Amino acid sequence: MATGGAESRSPESRARRFAYDGLFWRRLARLGAAHGPSWFVEHSPAFIGVAAALALPSARRAVRANLRRVRGHVGPVREARDVARTFATYAGCLAEALSSGSKNAEMPELEMEGNEHLEAALSARAGVVLVTAHTAGWELAGPLFRRDKGLAVAMVMEAERDEEARELHDRARRASGVDVLHVGADPLSALPLLHRLRGGSALALQIDRVPHGMRGLPVRMFGDSCLIPEGPLRLAQLSGAPIVPIFFARRGFRSYFAKVFEPVRVPRRPEPGELEASAQRLADAMALFVRRYPTQWFDFGGRKPA
């Protein structure tokens, strides 16, 4: 972790700190979410999100490109409004997540559609792979499922490029009772994940980005050819755990909605093309949800949905 010395004073280090996912914005959000008055946590994120959109032109362009890819052109006024709404929703989610472990911590309300699909997957008692995306409230899977279903959930994530920002956010996640596992390109990093699945736990992984150095499977999404991570499907294949696509949306202050799709089961010995077909089912579920909630997909880096 570079917190001092020549590296921390380099232009690259300073740029990382002030990037959309950097330490400056994360620390500012944590300060307000954890120590500000409750009204501030509820009402300020909309203004802060719009300010961030104005201050981060590259992230703003990425959101605009994503909206166009999801639904096409809708006109400049509506497009500008929806870009601002995306940033405001992200800021609200971030504030609520970063309030964990503080005086402002409070479990949000969740309405779930398709709960029967999750219950069917859990009834097999073989662990479960929850696949989601960077949409509003995706971090709720851990604390809410632990509370409502007694299910231990570990969030599996790619390590963020800013270690200090990641650790600040991870402390809030752990305060809400969620394990966070960061994985890299090392194949052996999957072994602890398999162990958890075989012990009956749940792993939550995102499929809208392929981590650097990891393999992806080709799919069609929003009319484009792209990749989704191969890892969740391989974990399901090796463990026998079903994959449950679940995506979240924010409806208001501490109020969320989750859509659960039918489980996808990967054979232990898949025939040629079966793995790709399963990957396409996951991509179809994500595309269906994002089209329903286009302003709640947070991909500020300008990457394709992979």
Distance CA 235, CA 268 (A): 10
If asked whether residues 172 and 285 sit together in one domain, one would say yes
If asked whether residues 78 and 143 sit together in one domain, one would say no
Distances (CA, A) of 203 to 103, 141, 196: 29, 10, 8
If asked whether residues 86 and 136 sit together in one domain, one would say no
Domain boundary among 72, 98, 124: 98
Decide if 157 is inside a domain: yes
If asked whether residues 118 and 57 sit together in one domain, one would say no
Range of the domain at 231: 109-296
pLDDT in tens, the chain (306 residues): 344 444 445 655 555 655 656 677 777 777 888 888 988 889 999 998 999 899 889 999 999 999 999 999 899 999 999 999 999 999 999 888 888 878 888 888 889 999 999 999 998 888 999 999 999 988 777 788 888 888 888 888 776 666 776 677 777 777 776 778 777 655 556 778 888 888 888 999 999 988 777 889 999 999 999 999 999 999 999 999 999 999 999 999 999 999 999 999 999 998 989 999 999 999 999 999 999 999 999 988 755 544
Residue 128: CB partners within 8 Å, gap ≥ 6? 118, 121, 122, 151, 197, 202, 203, 241, 242, 243, 244
If asked whether residues 171 and 205 sit together in one domain, one would say yes
If asked whether residues 80 and 117 sit together in one domain, one would say no
DSSP output for 11-75: HHHHHHHTSTTSHHHHHHHHHHHHHS-HHHHHHHHHHHHHHHHHH-HHHHHHHHHHHHHHH----
Decide if 261 is inside a domain: yes
Domain boundary among 64, 98, 132: 98
Predicted TM-score (pTM) of the model is 0.85
Decide if 301 is inside a domain: no
Per-residue pLDDT at 302: 55
If asked whether residues 160 and 273 sit together in one domain, one would say yes
Distance CA 257, CA 192 (A): 30
For 209, the 3-state DSSP assignment is coil
Distance CA 185, CA 274 (A): 24
Decide if 88 is inside a domain: yes
If asked whether residues 92 and 188 sit together in one domain, one would say no
Decide if 65 is inside a domain: yes
Decide if 306 is inside a domain: no
DSSP output for 159-191: PPS-HHHHHHHHHHHHHTT-EEEEE-S-GGGGH
If asked whether residues 123 and 271 sit together in one domain, one would say yes
Per-residue pLDDT at 52: 87
Domain boundary among 66, 98, 130: 98
From the CB of residue 120, how many other CB atoms can be counted at a distance below 10 Å? 14
Query: Which of 229, 256, 236, 244 lies closest to 151, judged by CA?
Result: 244
Decide if 257 is inside a domain: yes
Distances (CA, A) of 136 to 8, 38, 93, 105, 250: 32, 20, 6, 18, 5
Encoded tokens for 21: 């996912």
Per-residue pLDDT at 195: 86
The domain total for the chain is 2
Decide if 304 is inside a domain: no
Per-residue pLDDT at 3: 43
If asked whether residues 215 and 283 sit together in one domain, one would say yes
The amino acid that residue 77 corresponds to is: V
Query: Which of 243, 281, 303, 21 lies closest to 118, judged by CA?
Result: 243
What pairing do the DSSP bridges indicate for beta strands 128-132 and 109-113? unpaired
If asked whether residues 120 and 207 sit together in one domain, one would say yes
If asked whether residues 250 and 150 sit together in one domain, one would say yes
